[in-house]
Amino acid sequence: MSEPTPGAQAVLVAIDFTPAEVRLALAQVNGELILRETYPLPPLADEAAWAWEIGGRVSTLFAHEGQKRWAVGIAVACPGDVDEATGKMTRCPGRPEWDGLAVVDALRRHIDAPIVALDRTHAALRGESEHGAATDAADAIYVSLAGTPAAAVKTSGRIVSGARGGAGTLPDFPVLDPDAPLEEETVEEIAGLLSDLAAFLDPAVLILEGTDAHLETLVPAVQRAVNAVAPGPKVVAGAIGENAALLGALGAAAIVAYEGERSA
């Protein structure tokens, strides 16, 4: 393991990627954000190309600073199911060619640091739990309406990953066009499905994430449906929006840094 440059600042690194783009963040070990950047993600033919693209961008951030910083922990929010024991993305609904992507091993070819990979819906719920709409809730449900709909659950303060290491799928759930208005029938269908989910799990808060236009309609509609089926859960829009997974990844990076016993 290489040693940091004398006097270099210890930082946490968060990576959140989707089939279309990648978000990067650096933060001090106390969580204070240093920088945040977003890049489009070009077509990547294989794992090696992914490693060069993502790992290369992170390495470049450090190189531009003249190696004045070093990573004490890195977390990667992935758009699919993750086996956290191996650091592989076992299933990626948006990019099937990424099934089996060895996220942790691929990055370690570029960066020497403790690294963890997690499902980005779980990361988003972590972000909302640490900085947003679920900070005071021991039990919460987070539902992502972007792309392939998925849900993550927190119970007794713990985010549940399930047997596959992925966010929960929502059978027969409508896939929404972010640029199209919602039809009344679709709103009723979503409200019915999510009220049943809330009635079964009984969270303190049900967080919805999607476009502002969709949420303006869905939040009150789902709240009405929940109140009719099982009153109690509060239905809200995500408080930190598209940055939830990135901020959740920063929290995971802090944990892996602690577990890796690396400190400045």
Q: Model pTM?
A: 0.91
Domain that holds residue 46: 9-121+245-259
Confidence at residue 59, expressed as pLDDT on a 0 to 100 scale: 80
Q: How far is CA 154 from the centre of its chain?
A: 14
Confidence at residue 264, expressed as pLDDT on a 0 to 100 scale: 44
Q: Which position has the token pair 């993600």?
A: 41
Q: Which position has the token pair 């792309």?
A: 147
- Alpha-carbon distance of 77 to 16, in angstroms, equals 5
Number of domains in the chain: 2
Is position 210 within any domain?
yes
- Alpha-carbon distance of 5 to 77, in angstroms, equals 28
232 and 178 fall within a common domain:
yes
23 and 110 fall within a common domain:
yes
Confidence at residue 120, expressed as pLDDT on a 0 to 100 scale: 93
- Taking only the tens place, the pLDDT of each residue in 7-57 is 678 899 999 999 899 999 999 998 899 989 999 998 888 899 999 999 888
- Alpha-carbon distance of 7 to 41, in angstroms, equals 33
Under-70 pLDDT residues of the chain: 1-7, 64-67, 162-167, 260-264
115 and 20 fall within a common domain:
yes
Confidence at residue 103, expressed as pLDDT on a 0 to 100 scale: 96
Q: How far is CA 62 from the centre of its chain?
A: 23
Confidence at residue 61, expressed as pLDDT on a 0 to 100 scale: 77
CATH number for the domain harbouring residue 45: 3.30.420.40
How far is residue 147 from each of residues 43, 60, 231, 241, 258, measured CA to CA in Å?
18, 30, 29, 15, 33
Confidence at residue 67, expressed as pLDDT on a 0 to 100 scale: 60
